[in-house]
Every structure is written in structure tokens, then in C-alpha cells.
């Protein structure tokens, strides 16, 4: 399967997950990786501690992907998305499981202030865990949630590497697909139940690859990012 944006330079496909304890550490990593990655992902840990200041600080080094996974009633999500739009982020996550009206509300609230990415099933969630909460396997849930979110107006989706081919088939070439759980060959999977290598993820249709610990915990983060980009050709 081809991705929606096959001509993106390899390094611009990399989203480094700045899932670190302090804003100072996140800023140091962002400065070190400037020009070696395409996006900086700010997650709940840093955003909960520093809020909008974290976005301002990291945005000085490159485009920001705010990974807060909004999931609430549509009115609340729309209002939150409108506030996020003021921060100048490029990408914002919501949970597709919140339903079509909630996804529509997020898109409406964000307006032209960024792009909504709807999260299908978390990469840490196994089929056994889905069954424990009364849901079918990821192979069923993920394409269904992907279609729901894109029909509600989400221009992008987040899914595990092993779900990429099915999602690309379900939604077509015009949707941005972002995948966490990307691990270079030989690296551990950490807490991702459905991980894959960068090359395999792109071959299966990914546009952006979210990589955290293999870069941020490397002895030389920039060299680690450059090695991943090189592996993509």
C-alpha cells in the first residue's frame, strides 16, 4: 500500500515523542534534534506540568504535535479544541471512540488552527484486553473507527503499525496515517503490543512515524534519529 504522502523526505516522517519528565529536558532534546526530525510530540506528561508554555517553548524548534487525546462530550471537546487552536500546534489527537459527533466537534473547534488526528485503538492494547472490555479484536475495531472518524471530518488517523494496511484500504489515499509503536530492528517493543520497524510501517502506508525511547534514551539522540531516517531510504 502507498501512503498518502509518498514524497516526504525521510527525516520529515519522524515524530519524536518528547515524553520526558521536565520541560527543560524536552527543550534540550528539541534543540538537539532540530532539522533531524519533522515533528515534536508533546504528550500528557509535559503538557500537564507546563501547559501552553510547553507548546510555546517547543514550537521554537519545529512543528508541534499535541497528543492530548481529547475524549468528552462534543461541546467540551469543541471548546477545548478552540483553545488548542490558539497555541499554534499542527496536529492534535482525539479518541475516535468518542463517536462521530465528538470528532466533528473537534474539527469544528480546531478550525484552521491545526489538524485533527483520530486515535483508533491504542498500540498498548492487545486483543485480549479488548475482549476483556467487551470489544472485538483490533483487526475489526480499528478499520471501523477509522471509517467513522474520517466520515466525521478527521483528516488524519493514529493506528498501530500492524493495522496500517487495513486502515489505508478502509479510508483511501487522502488521509494522513500516523503510527506510534515504531521500533528500529533489534529494539524492544516496550509497552506497545503491536509494534513494527520504520521501514515496514512506511511500506504499509504510514505517513508519520512516532518514535520515543529509541531516540530520546539513546546515547546520541540525533544520531539515532538520523539512523532511522537512513533506514527509510
Grid cell 532534546 in the structure block, residue: 29
E-strand stretches of the chain: 14-17, 39-42, 64-70, 91-95, 115-119, 156-158, 176-179, 208-211
75, three cell numbers: 461541546
Instruction: Please report, for the chain, how many H helices and E strands are present, in that order.
Output: 11, 8
| Rounded Cα gap, residues 154 and 30, in angstroms | 28
| Rounded Cα gap, residues 123 and 222, in angstroms | 25
E-strand stretches of 121-233: 156-158, 176-179, 208-211
Residues with catalytic roles: 69
Q: Are 47 and 26 in contact (CB under 8 A)?
A: no
Grid cell 487552536 in the structure block, residue: 85
Amino acid at each position: 500500500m502507498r501512503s498518502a504522502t509518498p514524497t516526504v523526505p525521510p527525516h520529515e516522517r519522524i515524530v519524536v515523542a518528547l515524553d520526558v519528565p521536565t520541560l527543560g529536558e524536552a527543550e534540550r532534546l528539541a534543540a538537539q534534534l532540530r532539522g533531524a526530525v519533522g515533528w515534536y510530540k508533546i504528550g500528557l506528561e509535559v503538557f500537564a506540568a507546563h501547559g501552553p508554555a510547553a507548546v510555546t517553548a517547543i514550537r521554537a524548534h519545529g512543528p508541534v504535535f499535541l497528543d492530548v487525546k481529547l475524549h468528552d462530550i462534543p461541546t467540551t471537546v469543541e471548546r477545548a479544541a478552540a483553545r488548542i487552536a490558539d497555541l499554534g500546534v499542527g496536529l492534535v489527537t482525539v479518541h475516535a471512540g468518542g463517536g462521530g459527533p465528538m470528532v466533528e466537534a473537534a474539527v469544528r473547534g480546531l478550525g484552521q488552527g491545526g489538524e485533527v488526528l483520530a486515535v483508533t485503538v491504542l498500540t498498548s492494547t492487545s486483543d485480549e484486553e479488548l475482549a476483556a472490555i467487551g470489544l472485538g479484536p483490533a483487526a475489526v475495531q480499528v478499520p471501523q473507527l477509522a471509517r467513522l472518524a474520517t466520515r466525521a471530518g478527521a483528516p488524519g488517523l493514529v493506528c498501530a503499525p500492524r493495522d496500517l494496511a487495513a486502515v489505508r484500504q478502509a479510508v483511501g489515499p487522502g488521509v494522513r496515517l500516523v503510527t506510534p509503536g515504531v521500533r528500529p530492528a533489534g529494539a524492544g517493543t516496550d509497552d506497545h503490543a503491536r509494534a513494527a520497524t520504520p521501514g515496514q510501517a512506511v511500506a504499509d502506508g504510514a505517513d508519520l512515524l512516532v518514535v520515543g525511547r529509541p531516540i530520546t534514551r539513546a546515547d546520541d539522540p540525533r544520531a539515532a534519529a538520523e539512523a532511522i531516517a537512513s533506514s527509510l531510504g
